[in-house]
Amino acid sequence: MTVRDIIRLLTEAGIDPADARSEARLLVTHFTGKPASYLLVHPDEDFASPALAAAAEKRAGRFPLQYIVGTWEFYGLPFAVNEHTLIPRPDTELIAEAAIRHTPAHGRILDLCTGSGCIAAAILANVKTAEGTAVDLYPETLRAAEENLRALALSDRCTTLCGDATTDLFDPSVTFDVIVSNPPYVTADEMNDLAPELAFEPSHALTDGGDGLSILEKIIEIYKNHLAPSGVMILEHGWKQSDAVRAIAEKNGMTHEKIMDYGGNIRGAILKAKN
């Protein structure tokens, strides 16, 4: 199978041609070890690799590329990903960036709905004296986060906890300087319009099965009580949900600041207790 063959296969499967080109080269590099620079000038070299052919067919079925190669980068760090974890995305890097900015030296952070552990790991990798706790409801997902934290030499600074973020998991005296979460916020209606690849990601990590706000609301309601006096809560949410999240924050006595991406789109919110 050649690079050109894979590009054609992926394009015919409905993948954007530019993405098909980069993905084809990544797949060939992953399964043959040939560097991308080599492939640019040898697009018609035939690689007799059954594993590559099988992977290309799998990707043409819209199975996520990230799960095929098994790792993906987030905030400059490599993360192992599998079907028990959401795939880390650039939008979520804005949430991690805000959390890093607000985490003080020797601060304590809490990552609810941690998934692959990417947000917690990004914070701890960039705030070298911080300590964290990463929480997920699903044991298989939490194991993936634990493996990533170990691989990044961060597990000594991050406790993991299997638990439900819509319940209070801590003693009232436990507080954090930053509480961060990328919870399930996609609405039930929006689930019908997602890209085909999303069907392979864990639906329970994408949606609450309703309006997308129920878990966000619970996190705000419960975990505002676990913020240190100058602490912040940083939440990812849908671009249409900003007004609703602001209303929930105000109902809970918190201020609300939008997190915007570089294109001017809303990606999340920073909440603080009102003085």
Going by C-alpha positions, the residue among 59, 24, 62 that lies closest to residue 44 is 24
Structure tokens at 131: 């300590």
Say yes or no to pLDDT of 24 above 80: yes
Please say if the pLDDT value at position 10 is more than 90.
yes
Please state which of the ranges 3-17, 36-50, 150-164, 170-184 shows the lowest mean pLDDT: 36-50
Percentage of the chain beyond pLDDT 90 is 95
pLDDT in tens, 107-154: 999 999 999 999 999 999 999 999 999 999 999 999 999 999 999 999
In 3D space, the residue among 31, 90, 83, 89 whose CA is nearest the CA of residue 56 turns out to be: 31
HSE-CB of 13 using CA atoms within 13 angstroms: 24
pLDDT score of 263:
87
Q: What is the pLDDT of residue 228?
A: 97
d(CA 84, CA 242): 28
pLDDT in tens, 202-220: 999 999 999 999 999 999 9
So what's the pLDDT on residue 80?
A: 97
Res 121: pLDDT = 98
pLDDT given for residue 181 in this prediction = 98
Question: Mean pLDDT for the chain?
Answer: 96
Residue with tokens 């975990």: 223
- Give the 3-state secondary structure of the chain: CCHHHHHHHHHHCCCCHHHHHHHHHHHHHHHHCCCHHHHHHCCCCCCCCHHHHHHHHHHHCCCCHHHHHCEEEECCEEEECCCCCCCCCHHHHHHHHHHHHHCCCCCEEEEECCCCCHHHHHHHHHCCCCEEEEEECCHHHHHHHHHHHHHCCCHHHEEEEECCCCCCCCCCCCCEEEEEECCCCECHHHHCCCCHHHHHCCHHHCECCCCCCHHHHHHHHHHHHHEEEEEEEEEECCCCCHHHHHHHHHHCCEEEEEEECCCCCEEEEEEEECC
Asked if pLDDT for residue 9 goes beyond 90, the answer is: yes
Give the pLDDT of residue 275. Answer: 74
Q: How far apart are CA 268 and CA 189, in angstroms?
A: 20
What per-residue confidence (pLDDT) applies to 262? Answer: 86
How far apart are alpha carbons 12 and 232 in whole angstroms? 47
Q: Phi and psi at residue 262, in whole multiples of 5°?
A: -75, -10
